[in-house]
Amino acid sequence: MSSPTEPVSGPGSPNPTPGRSTEPVTAVPVRYPERWVAAAVILVLAAMFVHMLFTNDAFNWPFMLEHMFSDPVVRGVWVTISATVLSMLIGIVLGIVLAVMRLSGNPVLMAVSWLYTWFFRGVPRLVLAVLFGNIAILYTTIAIGLPFDNYWMPWLGLEGDARFFEIDTRTLLSGYVAGLLALSLSEGAYMAEIIRAGLQSVDKGQTEAAQALGMGRGRIMRRITLPQAMRVVIPPTGNETIAMLKDTALLAYVPVTIELFYQLQAIGSRTYQIFPMLVAACLWYLTITSVLMVGQYFIERRFNPGQYGGIRGRIVGGAH
Partner 1 sequence: MGEQVIETAEGAELPADALVVADNVHKSFGRLEVLKGIDLQVRRGEVMCIIGPSGSGKSTFLRCVNHLEKLSAGRLWVNGELMGYRQKRGRLYELRDNEIAAQRSDIGMVFQRFNLFPHLSVVGNIIEAPVQVKKVPRAEATAKALELLERVGLPDKADAYPDQLSGGQQQRVAIARALAMEPALMLFDEPTSALDPELVGEVLDVMRDLARGGMTMVVVTHEMGFAREVGDSLVFMDDGLVVESGVPSEVLSSPRHERTRAFLSKVL
Q: Which parts of this chain interact with partner 1 (CB under 8 A)?
A: 203, 205-206, 208-217, 219, 223-224, 227-228, 307-308, 311-312, 315
C-beta closer to partner 1: residue 27 or 315: 315
Minimum Å gap between C-beta 304 and partner 1 is 12
Nearest distance in Å: CB 114, partner 1 = 23
Q: How far is the CB of 318 from partner 1 (least distance, A)?
A: 9
- Counting beta carbons within 10 angstroms of the beta carbon of residue 215, is it exposed (0 to 12), middle (13 to 18) or buried (19 or more)? middle
* HSE value, Cβ hemisphere, 13 Å, CA-based, for 163: 12
Based on CB atoms, which residue is closest to partner 1, 29 or 216?
Answer: 216
Toward partner 1, which CB reaches closer, 210 or 251?
210
**Closest distance to partner 1 from the beta carbon of 302 (Å):** 13
Cβ proximity to partner 1, 16 vs 309, nearer residue: 309
Using CA atoms, how far apart are residues 10 and 82, in angstroms rounded to an integer?
65
Tell me the closest approach of the beta carbon of residue 294 to partner 1, in angstroms: 25
Nearer to partner 1, 1 or 108 (CB): 108
Shortest gap between Cβ of 236 and partner 1 (angstroms)? Answer: 19
Q: How far is the C-alpha of 228 from the C-alpha of 232, rounded, in Å?
A: 8
Q: Is 72 or 305 the residue whose CB approaches partner 1 more closely?
A: 305
Supply the minimum distance, in Å, between the C-beta of residue 196 and partner 1: 19
Nearer to partner 1, 14 or 306 (CB): 306
Q: How far is CA 185 from the centre of its chain?
A: 14
